[in-house]
Structure 1
Amino acid sequence: MSEEHVSPLDQSPSEDEFDFVIVGSGAGGGPLAANLALAGHSVLLLEAGDDHRCPYYSVPIMQAFASEDSDMRWNFYVRHWSDDLTQRQDTKYVKEQDGVLYPRGSTLGGSTAVSAMVTIYPHPGDWEGLAQLTGDPSWGAEPMRERFRRLERWRGVNALPLPGDTEADRDRKAAHGDNGWLGTTRADPKVGGRDPIFLDIIGAMEQTSRERFGIPGETPLPRDPNAVDTPPDYQGLAFIPVAVADGQRNGSRERVLDVQRRHPDRLAVRLNALATKVLLDGDRAVGVEYLVGERLYGAAPSGDVGCAASHDVSPRPIPAEAEPQRRVARARREVILAGGAFNTPQLLKLSGIGPKDELERLDIDVLVDAPGVGENLHDRYEVSVNCQLDRDYPIFAGATLDVPSDLSASDGLFAEWRDDRDGPFATNGSLAAIIAKSSAGTDDSDLIVFSLPIDFHGYYPGYAKDGGRRHDQLTIVVLKAHTNNRAGSVTLRSTDPRDTPYINFRYFEEGSPGHEQDVRGVVDGIDIAREVVRHLSEDVDRELVPGDGAIDPEDLATFVREQAWGHHACGTAKIGTSDDPTAVLDKDFRVRGVPNLRVVDASVFPDIPGLFIASAVYLVSEKASEAILSEHGVVT
């Protein structure tokens, strides 16, 4: 198998004026660019990374390696705590970077290129809350569900029918979309049956679900979290839908490539293009200034290489320090920022749109005093329960759990994916999940507890390689959704657009009210994970993390405060009402006070939606497409 590495996207039109200029090709910007081009508009999509292609991108189970591939990642280092003593208790803290690794995507497709591909539809209440906030019923649960149906191309093995239902009843109630652009599936149930320990783990999670939530034996498990008839307060075993099509990752990148191939005259993609400023004529956005060059941004890894060097794709040399070429792209209609929760507020502030005091300290001309830009940063909380088994997984015998340097090698699991796009490598590695409600008092289920047959306890340099180093590890990850903290912020370090911003989430006690419930909810998840482990007593040798010393609730609370992490940052340019001075956007994603400028990415959420954020951002992109086209029309 060979991996292409020459991109057709560099053959962009030479014109520097377009109907729309979009910054960022992730879950927000990529599908939006495609939709506008399909509607007949000329669109320029600026991506600060390249279009890097290698097995780490394509092979679903290699998602951790993708997030550590230097050709596909930005290395942000974030603070969880302002207090140095507390921050240093985190074993993932990197002193030299004064923070904890927070990898983001730096390639075509943005962070959808390096994510775990989990595609779980948000709760209906998340959308109803936005509909109520904005007074716009098109934000409601049913319109958003219809948008999900339109983008989904479901090819998974469906959940078994509930008692009394036929398969036709099941399909009608699930109401999956099957003709959309985003391929979704689940791990083939046959994969779990290929290893006796996998079966034990899945069985322990099912037993925990039935005992804890009173699920009778005649109710088949797992259930489908994306089925319309799965209630938002469902508790029990669930499979994990993922953005995998025909055994390969798919997402924003594939959407962009497909539309660009079909309409090269409408959709131009410029790679290695770092946006530095939104250009304004008076208060109106008219274009984007950007720099051209590889690895220009300060979050780019320096000096190392990704899978390119070891998998026969010629690595690009790191350019010598030089003044990069500066260019301007003008927008006849609108500029749209989709750089994500870190880069969008940075670009707004560099353009003079942000908190007056912060901009004036850096001698940036204040065009719009927008105190909410960079504020309201929040995330979910995650921890893991890690165990050592009493033996290796039989299925991993002879496997490296990595892509071999020689792609024709006979590593059995990789060869199965290479030849048939099938087997364990066609999954994202998750075995099963339990969805549950914590004692934090939420109406919807706010916990997902899922098992991985590797070592994973958060993000730090080298975490991907460490994860598969041993073949006798079990990780049960606890993710707490619907968190309360809204006190994080993204602030400028300097006026240099190549510099990363200062990112501080201000966890728990340093955050906003409700931190006690957040901690308690995560501790509840640890209790569920440990119950699964108790049902695996014949397989588990010992618990490694949190460890036998962390027993009572206060010990576990301390563990959560010190070791929690997240990877769904959002909220830094939130939607809100005109009487909210911290609301950056109106209901149609327009930046208040700046005509012809919108934001379409994870920044827009006033409150973090659902359990995983990618599907929510895809839906925001679809919603924004409709809003923009309702104003500017379809020209084909």
Structure 2
Amino acid sequence: MAQYEADVVVVGAGSAGCVLAARLSENADLRVLLLEAGETDRNVWIHVPGGISRTVGNPRLDWCMKTEPVTGLNGRCMPYPRGKLLGGSGSLNGMQYIRGNPRDYDRWRDLGNVGWGWSDVVPYFRRSEANVRGADELHGDSGPLAVSDMERGELADALLHAAAQAGYPLIADFNGPSQEGASYYQMMIRRGRRACGAGAYLRPAMRRANLQVLTSAQATRVLFEGRRATGVQFRRGAEILTANARREVVIAGGAFHSPHLLQLSGIGPAPLLDRHGISVVTDLTGVGANLQDHVQVRVLCRCTQPVTINDVLNSPLRLAGEVARYLLFRTGILAYGPFRTGLFACSSASPGWPDLQVQFGPVGFSAVTEPPLKYSSFTMSVCLLRPSSRGRVEIGSPDPFALPKIQPDFLSTEDDRRLMIEAFKLGRRLLAQPALAAYVAEEVLPGPGCMSDAQILEHVRETGSTVHHPVGTCRMGADELSVVDARLRVRGIGGLRVVDGAIMPELVSGNVNAPIVMIAEKASDLMREDLRA
């Protein structure tokens, strides 16, 4: 069996793995090996912000996962796009730079995670960021990850005016002193190209002699001597290989693959492992539990004027102009993601701490994974930011190449169902304001026949979908259900950590890529401290 050797072996080159490998390899005396199951990020559409429809669902770039039947969504099995390439899902996502709310992180700290309060994590957000607006007490301007402002647009502006007409403040920065209000999103884009962990962190670091990156290398299990991790077994092509870790193994596979690999390796709930004939190394009930994600529902409207992305895509002449504009100037509809403006709002249950998000896109589509519609239309998406529903991720067999079983259990609590109805009504209230009503020719989905709470809930059950922010399945904490401690070390095992969104004890109030980059930045400091000790 062929072997590789390094001081630190990192499994998974998603956002967290790219950041961690790049930061650790800054120490020339530390040899780092990064394993990625997918391929490189050389597909041109990965880097074009408007090219998401060409990458999501592409089996060469996307794991193309699906959930188990979700009771709260009328038994539907949902597609779950997850990046299978350098940069992971950060190479496929909508690029919005949202950190969440400061109270989210203080809540992490109050759950027993010393060092993870808002004041503790802000320096790592700042360190990672190259914000076009410059540096201040909240933002950085010299980090690897580009954060830029979006071009204004007629429909996007209309959402802001509608929010103001509905009584919401207009704010300059969702990551500023106050999150509540409406604004343009800042995006992880640099001069018209996607900015992500692979391009911003990993690519420059790959010139270092002490960093080795292997693509098409899928980890099959962690290797142990007693209760200490000593390496990783993986498949590359037709070969089964071993990577020996002199110091540590770090799992950075994300909310689905990290618990999956732990369970395959004998770390997880003993009854589950016994059922699949896997020898138990450590009985950790929390591995794969606590799955959290944002669930969304959309309102689709036919537009009164030809000002949507659909109009451009359906006109060969206008589309040719946009392609030329992008190639020449890196501007236009290809230079930004599907949603440019949004609103963070407080429900009746959460005054002062936004728990509802509205995303507004000048494009209409029948489903997130489907191409845009053939008529002038736009989309209002609403979601619940801090759901109380909890799901799980489990191995379905001992075969390491079988995908994990994913049960998000959306809308399994009465609170979530009630708040989703409230979120939907918020979206409709915005559409009824004069600034947006002028553009609404017809509500196509769900349509005017959907009025009562029961009808709205049924619309949510029939059409609701993930916002693609799964976290929490190897949660950080100090109780018996936690998987890692505040230094991200797996409980009961030496030389093994998890560093990715799986460690979040609770979902943040917003998009998760920026927080995952922060987690990896902080983890690199924790690891360097421990490796020096």
Question: TM-score, with normalisation over the residues of structure 2?
Answer: 0.94
Q: Does 1:59 align with 2:48?
A: yes
Q: How far apart, CA to CA, are the structure 2 residues paired with 1:246 and 1:447? A: 31
| Corresponding residue of 1:303 | none
Residue among 474, 480, 491 paired with 1:581: 480
- Structure 1 residues 458 and 484: alpha-carbon distance in aligned structure 2, compared to 1, 3 A threshold: farther
Cα displacement (A) at 1:432 = 1.7
Cα displacement (A) at 1:561 = 3.0
Cα displacement (A) at 1:378 = 1.4
Contact 2:125–2:518 (Cα < 8 Å) also in 1? yes
Contact 1:589–1:604 (Cα < 8 Å) also in 2? yes
- Structure 1 residues 442 and 399: alpha-carbon distance in aligned structure 2, compared to 1, 3 A threshold: same
Contact 1:440–1:518 (Cα < 8 Å) also in 2? no
- Structure 1 residues 15 and 266: alpha-carbon distance in aligned structure 2, compared to 1, 3 A threshold: farther
Contact 1:335–1:598 (Cα < 8 Å) also in 2? yes
Contact 2:312–2:319 (Cα < 8 Å) also in 1? no
Q: Does 1:225 align with 2:174?
A: yes
| Corresponding residue of 2:380 | 476
Question: TM-score, with normalisation over the residues of structure 1?
Answer: 0.79
**Letter of the 2:19 counterpart:** P
| Corresponding residue of 1:74 | 63
The 3-state SS of whatever aligns with 1:104 is coil
Residue among 369, 375, 393 paired with 1:490: 393
Q: How far apart, CA to CA, are the structure 2 residues paired with 1:520 and 1:357? A: 35
- Structure 1 residues 204 and 135: alpha-carbon distance in aligned structure 2, compared to 1, 3 A threshold: closer
- Structure 1 residues 401 and 74: alpha-carbon distance in aligned structure 2, compared to 1, 3 A threshold: farther
Residue among 450, 454, 476 paired with 1:554: 454
Cα displacement (A) at 1:588 = 0.6
Cα displacement (A) at 1:608 = 0.5
The 3-state SS of whatever aligns with 1:238 is strand
Contact 1:81–1:505 (Cα < 8 Å) also in 2? yes
Q: How far apart, CA to CA, are the structure 2 residues paired with 1:82 and 1:435? A: 28
Cα displacement (A) at 1:268 = 0.5
The superposition leaves residues 20-41 of structure 1 with CA deviations (integer Å, 9 ceiling, x where unpaired) of 0000111211100110001231
- Structure 1 residues 394 and 457: alpha-carbon distance in aligned structure 2, compared to 1, 3 A threshold: closer
- Structure 1 residues 257 and 624: alpha-carbon distance in aligned structure 2, compared to 1, 3 A threshold: closer
**Letter of the 1:481 counterpart:** L
**Letter of the 1:505 counterpart:** P
Contact 2:56–2:81 (Cα < 8 Å) also in 1? yes
Contact 2:488–2:497 (Cα < 8 Å) also in 1? yes
Cα displacement (A) at 1:211 = 3.0
| Corresponding residue of 2:139 | 176
- Structure 1 residues 22 and 279: alpha-carbon distance in aligned structure 2, compared to 1, 3 A threshold: same
The 3-state SS of whatever aligns with 1:213 is coil
| Corresponding residue of 1:144 | 121
| Corresponding residue of 1:9 | none
Cα displacement (A) at 1:560 = 1.8
**Letter of the 1:477 counterpart:** S
The superposition leaves residues 385-417 of structure 1 with CA deviations (integer Å, 9 ceiling, x where unpaired) of 001123433776664599x9xxxx981112211
- Structure 1 residues 357 and 15: alpha-carbon distance in aligned structure 2, compared to 1, 3 A threshold: closer
Contact 2:296–2:384 (Cα < 8 Å) also in 1? yes
Q: How far apart, CA to CA, are the structure 1 residues paired with 2:498 and 2:248? A: 11
**Residues 15-26 of structure 1: matches in 2 within 5 Å?**
16-26=4-14
- Structure 1 residues 396 and 552: alpha-carbon distance in aligned structure 2, compared to 1, 3 A threshold: closer
Contact 1:383–1:457 (Cα < 8 Å) also in 2? no
**Letter of the 1:524 counterpart:** E
Q: How far apart, CA to CA, are the structure 2 residues paired with 1:401 and 1:107? A: 33
Residue among 340, 360, 381 paired with 2:274: 360
Contact 2:3–2:244 (Cα < 8 Å) also in 1? no
| Corresponding residue of 2:340 | 431
Q: How far apart, CA to CA, are the structure 1 residues paired with 2:477 and 2:62? A: 31
Q: How far apart, CA to CA, are the structure 2 residues paired with 1:539 and 1:211? A: 15
**Residues 123-202 of structure 1: matches in 2 within 5 Å?**
123-134=101-112, 136=114, 138-155=115-132, 172=136, 175-189=138-152, 192=153, 199=154, 201-202=155-156
Contact 1:32–1:622 (Cα < 8 Å) also in 2? yes
The 3-state SS of whatever aligns with 1:176 is coil
How high is the sequence identity, in percent, across the aligned residues? 31
Cα displacement (A) at 1:443 = 4.2
